[in-house]
């Protein structure tokens, strides 16, 4: 009987501690924000990690004003907010699930090998998504952790509720030249949202909460991360609504200007100058004066001869 009382007391203390933990997580977390996720345009595809195709998507820039270190996620003081360098998330939805694009800036190197299975959920570098509906932490979350393969290629360790469904495993990553920054895009399949006591149907008008986390590893095995909303308390999760507005997608490339070749302009030869025509009026006057002068000279000569 005494043992049962002790066990009941221990459980009660644990419950009170959890309430206090959640209260702390909710009180210090960034304020709840409401977002609308546009629908992906027809023919939307991922895999090329091109940010242009996310034109019109929901874009959330993480900075010091909307990011925090949740309780227990500082690795015992291993990271502070001064270690947060910024991030950007984009979201679109389609009947097949929620598409995401993440551009993560980090000061900590991406691991050289895949994380150990028992540590990868909360250790190493990576991103996590924790959706919720009616009940706190009701729905299983996703973890995607980038790493470099022995032959130098970028790959992603992944965990999700229906991870046995290989056809849904669409995650792509590119690790920056500094070995710490990375870009990732992928699909959280609709089938994963359905595995919960309160499943989410991916359809226009549906609303759900989600807590997003960026994992960073200052040292191997250290548990650290930054979050955008309350930690394991759905009342403090940001709210997402699946909008009927369709994102325009990548803009059409500008058409190349049409080059019109003009016909060469032929030079027109200058006209040949003609000799000026004689001025007949002037010539007649001159001839008249010449006749008068000749007549006068003849009359004078005749007069002299008669004498």
Q: How do residues 38-54 score in pLDDT, each as one tens digit?
A: 999 999 999 999 999 99
Structure confidence at residue 212 (pLDDT): 94
Write the CA distances from 99 to 54, 96, 208, 215, integer angstroms.
Answer: 10, 9, 15, 20
pTM reported for the whole predicted model: 0.73
Identify whether 307 is part of a domain: no
Identify whether 162 is part of a domain: yes
Identify whether 118 is part of a domain: yes
Identify whether 262 is part of a domain: no
Which residue has better confidence, 76 or 102? 102
Structure confidence at residue 163 (pLDDT): 59
pLDDT above 90 for 168: no
Render pLDDT for 105-164 as a digit per residue (tens, 0 to 9). 998 888 877 665 555 456 678 999 988 875 555 566 788 889 888 888 998 888 776 655
Structure confidence at residue 156 (pLDDT): 87
Identify whether 288 is part of a domain: no
pLDDT above 50 for 3: no
Domain count, the chain: 1
- Indicate which CATH number applies to the domain containing 97: 2.60.40.1190
Contact (CB, 8 A) for 80 and 69: yes
| DSSP per residue, 272-296 | PPPPPPP-HHHHHHHHHHHHHHHHH
Q: What is the mean pLDDT of residues 77-87?
A: 92
Tell me which residue range forms the domain holding 215. 8-246
306 pLDDT band, cuts 50/70/90, is: very low
Task: Give the whole-angstrom CA distance, residue 58 versus residue 98.
Answer: 11
Q: What is the mean pLDDT of residues 194-215?
A: 88
pLDDT above 80 for 224: yes
Identify whether 191 is part of a domain: yes
Identify whether 275 is part of a domain: no
Q: What is the token pair recorded at 98?
A: 């929620």
7 pLDDT band, cuts 50/70/90, is: very low
Identify whether 271 is part of a domain: no
């Amino acid at each position: 009987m005494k043992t049962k009382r002790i066990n009941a007391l221990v459980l009660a203390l644990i419950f009170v501690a959890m309430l206090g933990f959640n209260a702390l997580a909710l009180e210090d977390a960034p304020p709840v924000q409401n977002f609308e996720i546009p629908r992906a345009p027809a023919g939307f595809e991922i895999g090329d990690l091109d940010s242009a195709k996310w034109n019109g998507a929901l874009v959330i820039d993480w900075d010091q004003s909307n990011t925090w270190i949740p309780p227990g996620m500082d690795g015992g003081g291993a990271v502070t907010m001064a270690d947060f360098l910024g991030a950007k998330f984009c979201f679109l939805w389609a009947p097949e699930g929620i598409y995401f694009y993440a551009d993560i800036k980090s000061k900590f190197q991406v691991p050289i090998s895949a994380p150990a299975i028992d540590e990868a959920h909360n250790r190493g570098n990576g991103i996590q998504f924790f959706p919720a509906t009616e009940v706190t932490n009701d729905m299983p979350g996703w973890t995607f952790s980038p790493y470099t393969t022995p032959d130098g290629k970028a790959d992603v360790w992944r965990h999700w509720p229906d991870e046995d469904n290989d056809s849904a495993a669409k995650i792509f990553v590119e690790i920056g030249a500094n070995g710490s920054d990375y870009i990732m895009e992928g699909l959280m399949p609709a089938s994963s949202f359905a595995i919960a006591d309160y499943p989410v149907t991916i359809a226009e008008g549906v609303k759900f909460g989600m807590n997003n986390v960026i994992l960073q590893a200052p040292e191997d095995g250290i548990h650290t991360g930054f979050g955008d909303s309350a930690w394991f308390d759905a009342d403090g999760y940001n709210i997402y609504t699946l909008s009927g507005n369709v994102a325009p997608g990548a803009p059409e490339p500008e058409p190349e200007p049409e080059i019109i070749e003009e016909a060469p302009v032929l030079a027109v030869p200058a006209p040949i100058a003609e000799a000026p025509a004689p001025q007949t009026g002037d010539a007649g006057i001159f001839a008249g004066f010449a006749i008068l002068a000749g007549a006068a000279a003849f009359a004078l000569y005749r007069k002299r001869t008669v004498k």
